[in-house]
Amino acid sequence: MNRGLRLFTPAIPAVVAVGFFVSFANWIPQTHWAPPKKLALTADLTPAELARAGATIVRERGCMACHTMEPGAGVKGGGRGPNLDGIAARRAQGAAGAPANVVDYLVQSLYEPGAHLVEGYPNIMPPAIGAPAKLSYEEVTAVVNYLQSLGGTASVKLGELPKPPGSGAAAPIQAAAAPAVPAAAGGAQLLTDLGCVACHAQSPGPQAIGPVFDADSIRKTAGERGMSPEAYLMESIVEPAAYQREGFPAGLMPADYGTKLTAAQLESIVAYLLGEAGS
């Protein structure tokens, strides 16, 4: 009995310490994370209610990775895309070479962003109904109302905007088709044609929606995964869900590049991203 007690005595402090930390952990208020709930956008919502939903959509779908909200800055803020603050007031009469009223201007900007470019900004925004934003018709309506509220008054009900392409309904404002991928395009051109540069920065700096296209960073991540840089990049392109980089939203990168690109095109992109000759 005494021998058993002697064997157990040294363990008593450890047992007490474990019990203390377990009790302390249970005492701390517990938090639970859940993904954002899908917004219910129904025909009975007022334009003001849709605008509030649109504000959430703009924030959650990564729009502010390129656009800014800078009061008093005019169209040219500090982002890669135009400043959104006051956009409805600036575009109340549309723009030269674009639709002549703010609603049609905003719809075209979302469906066909390359149709009219704000001076000083490159054509890097993909159609909002495609990746990475993937807005539904109802979400487009909400975003249009939100943008209207930035210097104006939300006014659009569900069903009043033209439908996006491919919906089977007539649409006065047509969106551009997805860009064709030239068979002989080099890696740099392919990244532009596919809209990759809308989400990935070309060099280290302000964080974009996706990881930066930096060869050193790519090689470092590949090494951490125990893969060659070429294999890691190929996996990231054709199966983006296989590995999720910390700090970046999941599920935004299209998963069909493996069927859209030829082996030669994939190799060209990989060579270009790694800074190799022949890209």
Q: What is the dihedral of CA 177, 179, 183, 188, to 10 degrees?
A: 180
Q: Name the average pLDDT for the chain.
A: 79
> Among candidates 226, 257, 260, which has minimal Cα distance to 240?
257
Which of 145-149, 178-182, 237-241 is the most confident on average?
145-149
Can you give the pLDDT at residue 178? 41
User: Residue 151 to residues 74, 89, 90, 120: CA-CA distances in angstroms?
Assistant: 12, 5, 8, 22
Residues shown for the chain: 279
* 3-state SS class at 169: coil
Q: pLDDT tier at 172 (50, 70, 90 boundaries)?
A: very low
Is the model's pLDDT at 138 over the cut of 90?
yes
Can you give the pLDDT at residue 265? 84
Neighbour-count burial for 89-127, b at 16+ CB within 10 Å, e otherwise = ebbeebeeebbeebbbbbbbbbbbbbbebeeeeeebbbb
Among 69-83, 132-146, 234-248, 265-279, the range scoring the smallest mean pLDDT is 265-279
| Torsion sign (Cα): 215, 221, 223, 225 | negative
Is the model's pLDDT at 151 over the cut of 50?
yes
Neighbour-count burial for 182-212, b at 16+ CB within 10 Å, e otherwise = eeebebbbbbbebbbbbbbbeeeeeebbbbb
Encoded amino acid at 208, one letter: A
Q: pLDDT tier at 28 (50, 70, 90 boundaries)?
A: very low
